[in-house]
């Protein structure tokens, strides 16, 4: 009983940084680790059918640990820090003068039920608090389960995602599609295709990170 109480008190009063284990600031993401994030230049990293794709950073170091913590390890509290990092980058983009409807990349319901949450829903909720954009988790849905993308080649990824998404309601505002990471862009491309088929063309995409090997488009 005493050991259980000690563990409980340790959990409550010694909130260590998830990234460096420092307890100096009593934060899950200390300022030293947060300020160590390296941002990418303010340019699109990809262009998919004329749609600009932005990324805040490379998928490495603390960004990689952050994304994996929110996505796989139930560290929901870190979603607000992921959103803050994205927001810090987004503020520098001149295009963000628009008022966007934010679309988190949807998760198939069985996977979301198993995980008990969609990590990008959490990140987008926090992002919308910072931007005052409108969050829309219902208009674009994933209608079938797909295989994990990281195991597939680019052609296999596109085939895997074909007809995986559906638009349930027309969106009139400019759309901002958000995800944690993009490699080939297959997921974003398929969602863009679905929106275009419904005459929605005012679209921008924004992800937290891209793999370090990815090149950056310079305009």
Per-residue burial over 121-146, b = 16 or more CB atoms within 10 Å of its CB, e = otherwise:
bbbbbbbbeebebebbeebbbbeeeb
Q: Give domain 37-210's CATH architecture.
A: 3-Layer(aba) Sandwich (3.40)
Domain residue extents for the chain: 1-34, 37-210
pLDDT at 23: 87
For the cut 70, the answer to whether the pLDDT of residue 21 exceeds it is yes
Phi-psi region of 218 (alpha: psi -120 to 50; beta: other; left: phi over 0): beta
CA separation for the pair 168, 154 (Å, rounded): 27
pTM here? 0.87
Average pLDDT over residues 183-205: 94
For the cut 60, the answer to whether the pLDDT of residue 42 exceeds it is yes
pLDDT at 218: 45
The chain-wide mean pLDDT, for the chain, equals 87
117-164 confidence digits (pLDDT tens) = 899 999 999 999 999 999 999 999 998 876 665 665 667 766 667 888
Residue 159 and residue 186 in contact, taking contact as beta carbons nearer than 8 Å: no
92-103 confidence digits (pLDDT tens) = 986 667 899 999
Residue 21 and residue 65 in contact, taking contact as beta carbons nearer than 8 Å: no
Residues 6+ apart with CB under 8 A from 73: none
111-128 confidence digits (pLDDT tens) = 766 778 899 999 999 999
The token pair at 138 is 């219902």
Average pLDDT over residues 59-71: 97
Three-state SS for 7?
helix
Average pLDDT over residues 55-84: 96
Three-state SS for 84?
helix
Average pLDDT over residues 26-30: 94
């Amino acid at each position: 009983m005493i050991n259980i109480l000690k563990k409980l008190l340790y959990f409550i009063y010694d909130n260590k940084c998830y990234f460096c284990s420092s307890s100096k600031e009593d934060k899950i993401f200390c300022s030293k680790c947060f300020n160590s994030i390296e941002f990418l230049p303010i340019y699109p990293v990809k262009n998919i059918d004329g749609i600009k794709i932005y990324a805040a950073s490379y998928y490495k170091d603390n960004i990689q640990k952050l994304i994996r913590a929110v996505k796989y390890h139930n560290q929901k509290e870190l979603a607000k820090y992921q959103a803050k990092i994205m927001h810090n980058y987004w503020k520098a983009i001149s295009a963000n003068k628009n008022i966007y409807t934010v679309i988190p990349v949807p998760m198939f319901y069985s996977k979301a039920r198993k995980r008990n949450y969609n990590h990008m829903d959490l990140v987008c909720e926090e992002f919308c608090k910072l931007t005052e954009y409108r969050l829309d988790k219902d208009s674009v849905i994933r209608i079938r389960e797909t295989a994990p993308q990281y195991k597939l080649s680019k052609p296999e990824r596109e085939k895997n995602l074909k007809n995986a998404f559906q638009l349930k309601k027309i969106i009139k505002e400019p759309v901002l599609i958000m995800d944690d990471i993009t490699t080939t862009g297959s997921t974003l491309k398929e969602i863009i295709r679905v929106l275009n088929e419904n005459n929605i063309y005012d679209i921008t995409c924004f992800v937290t990170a891209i793999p370090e090997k990815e090149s950056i488009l310079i305009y």
